Amino acid sequence: MSGFLPINRKEMLGRGWQDVDFICVTGDSYVDHPSFGAAIISRVLENEGYRVAVLSQPDWKGTDDFTQFGKPRLGFMVTSGNIDSMVAHYTAAKRLRHDDAYTAGGKAGKRPDRAVIVYSNIIKEIYPDTPVIIGGLEASLRRFAHYDYWDDAVRPSILIDSKADLLTYGMGEKQTAEIAKRLDSGESISQMRDILGTCYLCPTTETPYTGVECPSYDNVVTNKKEYAKSCRIEQDEQDHIRGRLIKQKHGKMMLVQNPPMPPLTQKELDKVYALPYMRAYHPSYESLGGVPGIREVEFSITHNRGCFGACNFCSIAFHQGRYITSRSKKSIVAEAKKLTQMPNFKGYIHDIGGPTANFRQPSCEFQLEHGLCKGKKCLAPKPCPNLIADHSEYLDILREVRELDGVKKVFIRSGIRYDYLLQDKDDTFFRELVENHVSGQLKVAPEHCSAAVLDKMGKPHIETYIEFSKRYFQYTGEVNKEQYLVPYLMSSHPGSTLDDAIELALFLKKNHIRPEQVQDFYPTPGTISTCMFYTELDPYTMEPVYVAKTEHDKALQRALLQYYNPKNQALVEEALKKAKRFDLIGFDNKCLVRPTADSKRIQQSRASGKRNNNRNNKNGNYKKGRRK
């Protein structure tokens, strides 16, 4: 137990400490593993020489948990945990979840809604003069005025509601170390207005002259076009090379986002992942059944950060950034060796991946000096001509790890960008992926088949997936294996009409794909797709975008993707009738559903009417002929 950071007063005293320098407050159960942001930040602070305690899932209905360590010497670091607390609590249909993978025993309800705001406000009431720094995904994605799906309203920056002193956005290691160093030197947190990768509030009279200004909070609340403009500015400036300072007025206060912090270098990244993580949940959770969230990552290795794929519905580009950084081969192999020495290791490394598994270097040389292109994507709708697709280094790492003593198999379970893979003229990686790194099925994310919808998603067109699928099964056959592709699909994304959903259903039928699960689009804070959902505008073109917003409209699209399920019969039939696609209701192989009794009557009536019309037309033509 001594390897874990203290999670209560008893463990703090057990280390011989009477107080601590920092208290890291998290909405997750304490898992000391580098896949958990709170674990990384707490270990980074420890490595800088500070005494750190972890306050995990404190009882927010009282103050005892928040005061048990006493007042920290330097400050509180607050996060909701690995995911937004509202996403942790509610489904895309806004229904309360029954479990929580980041809580011991999988038990739901151990963190409050809007955890960062709740925790930070409590701390400020108890210790008003103690610095509170908020970070992690919830804070990072809500740093500007943002549409909140659960309120169905635009909320101000989370800095306003939380009353925190400073916000770190992005991955946060460098910012955290800089803040800690300056607090330790005696500098007031109110003076820390120059740290990259942070946001702060100041009176409008103290607004910096540099940078670019977004439409104000008042404007984005009352005008959806202004919201869309704001979204584009926020997205376009998230580049550590060319990104500018951004300002957004909130009443008499100005929210200021400093330019992004440069990502960690390879040497710095290696150092972070070499910190002394216990790679397990705290032993106090054992009697509760452990923390389910560790199961997928316990024997996984993160080798990269960032994603230049930058899908519009994904938060990675806004949080981690589009620039790719990666760990060295030496660092990855060293971590793999650690896994083989763990007592419950069975010989299987579940993943060597990251946000996108097969990215190892920036997408092109241009961005090294100029940053990533503003308003453009590297892969969609077609790959950029400047794209450099090379899997040789990644393949070299996989080969060495799978040859380690004790390793039976190395799988790749995080996302493979198949469009990027196809750009590599050398198919060696593709072939070895199929032969050595697929655990029976490979999950990829075409998401849809309609070109119009895929353009709104920022994804490649379906022809790319079809080509990948052909080659995947070709290579699978050549090594005499029975392996499958599992496509991730999304219903009701902004831009997806009922006709688009029907097109997708027909595509699935034609290709004999029967998805077991379908994900409704979930409007999470900070993404371009969420902006489209709220404003019904594309922020890059200002053109109108169709959005299925009612629960019933979403249900119709979702049901079409599983048209074969008898439970969806009524919804599929309703959707087809609404779209006037009666040709897809029937007994023919091209049809999606068989008709119910009511449908049969309608079809018979339509057929009868059609016959009568034909007879009338024939009579009319005959008479016209005679008149001629």
Give residue 621's pLDDT.
Answer: 43
Asked whether residue 611 carries a pLDDT value surpassing 80, the answer given is no
Asked whether residue 106 carries a pLDDT value surpassing 50, the answer given is yes
Asked whether residue 628 carries a pLDDT value surpassing 70, the answer given is no
Asked whether residue 524 carries a pLDDT value surpassing 70, the answer given is yes
Q: Among 327-331, 366-370, 549-553, 593-597, where is mean pLDDT lowest? A: 593-597
Give residue 244's pLDDT.
Answer: 97
Calculate what percentage of the chain has a pLDDT beyond 90. Answer: 93
Q: Tell me the average pLDDT across 338-366.
A: 95
Which residue matches tokens 């960008």? 417
Give residue 324's pLDDT.
Answer: 96
> How far, in Å, CA of 188 to CA of 74, rounded?
10
The model's confidence at residue 518, banded by pLDDT at 50, 70 and 90, is: confident
Strand partners, 351: 300
> How far, in Å, CA of 567 to CA of 569, rounded?
6
DSSP, res 157: P
Give residue 596's pLDDT.
Answer: 83
At residue 182, what is the residue type? R
Mean pLDDT of the chain: 94
Instruction: Give the pLDDT confidence of 235-268 residue by residue, as tens digits.
Output: 999 999 999 999 999 999 999 999 999 999 999 9
DSSP 483-516: -EEEEEEEES-TT--HHHHHHHHHHHHHTT---S
Give residue 627's pLDDT.
Answer: 32
Calculate what percentage of the chain has a pLDDT beyond 70. Answer: 95
The model's confidence at residue 288, banded by pLDDT at 50, 70 and 90, is: very high
Give residue 349's pLDDT.
Answer: 97
Asked whether residue 155 carries a pLDDT value surpassing 80, the answer given is yes
Residues 6+ apart with CB under 8 A from 346: 408
Asked whether residue 121 carries a pLDDT value surpassing 90, the answer given is yes
Instruction: Give the pLDDT confidence of 384-394 residue by residue, as tens digits.
Output: 999 999 999 99
The number of helices, as runs of H, and strands, as runs of E, in the chain is 24, 22
> How far, in Å, CA of 222 to CA of 224, rounded?
7
Q: Phi, psi at residue 328, to the nearest 5°? A: -75, 160
> How far, in Å, CA of 378 to CA of 381, rounded?
9
Asked whether residue 612 carries a pLDDT value surpassing 80, the answer given is no
The dihedral through the CA atoms of 283, 289, 292, 294 has a sign that is positive
Q: Tell me the average pLDDT across 551-568.
A: 96
Q: Tell me the average pLDDT across 429-458.
A: 96
State how beta strands 441-447 and 409-410 pair.
unpaired
Instruction: Give the pLDDT confidence of 24-46 residue by residue, as tens digits.
Output: 999 999 999 999 999 999 999 99
Q: Tell me the average pLDDT across 107-128.
A: 97
Give residue 516's pLDDT.
Answer: 82
Chain centroid to CA 248: 25
Q: Phi, psi at residue 540, to the nearest 5°? A: -95, -15
| Biggest CA-to-CA distance, the chain | 111
Is pTM beyond 0.85? Reply is yes
Which segments of 320-479 does DSSP mark as H helices, in order?
329-340, 366-370, 392-402, 418-423, 428-436, 451-457, 462-478
Asked whether residue 590 carries a pLDDT value surpassing 50, the answer given is yes
Give residue 625's pLDDT.
Answer: 35
At residue 253, what is the residue type? M
> How far, in Å, CA of 317 to CA of 429, rounded?
26
Cβ burial, residue 478 (10 Å; 0-12/13-18/19+): exposed
Asked whether residue 473 carries a pLDDT value surpassing 70, the answer given is yes
Which residue matches tokens 């593993």? 33
Provide the token pair at 75.
């400050």
Q: Tell me the average pLDDT across 510-519.
A: 90
Instruction: Give the pLDDT confidence of 63-95 residue by residue, as tens digits.
Output: 999 999 999 999 999 999 999 999 999 999 999
State how beta strands 22-26 and 52-56 pair.
parallel
Q: Tell me the average pLDDT across 174-190.
A: 98
Asked whether residue 607 carries a pLDDT value surpassing 70, the answer given is no
> How far, in Å, CA of 532 to CA of 498, rounded?
17
Asked whether residue 614 carries a pLDDT value surpassing 80, the answer given is no
Give residue 423's pLDDT.
Answer: 97
Q: Tell me the average pLDDT across 337-356.
A: 96
Asked whether residue 496 carries a pLDDT value surpassing 60, the answer given is yes
Q: Tell me the average pLDDT across 560-582.
A: 96
Give residue 620's pLDDT.
Answer: 46
Whether the CB-CB separation of 215 and 229 falls below 8 Å is answered with yes
The model's confidence at residue 597, banded by pLDDT at 50, 70 and 90, is: low
- Neighbour-count burial for 501-510, b at 16+ CB within 10 Å, e otherwise: bbbbbbbbbe
- Identify which of 359, 257, 344 has the alpha carbon closest to the alpha carbon of residue 304: 359
Region of residue 536 (left: phi > 0; alpha: psi -120 to 50; beta: else) = left
The model's confidence at residue 56, banded by pLDDT at 50, 70 and 90, is: very high
The dihedral through the CA atoms of 114, 120, 123, 128 has a sign that is negative
Neighbours of 365 (CB within 10 A): 11
> How far, in Å, CA of 210 to CA of 193, rounded?
13
Collapse the DSSP code of 248 into the 3-class scheme (helix H, G, I; strand E, B; otherwise coil) and give the result.
strand
Provide the token pair at 621.
């033509």
Whether the CB-CB separation of 294 and 278 falls below 8 Å is answered with no
The model's confidence at residue 482, banded by pLDDT at 50, 70 and 90, is: very high
Give residue 601's pLDDT.
Answer: 57
Give residue 615's pLDDT.
Answer: 53
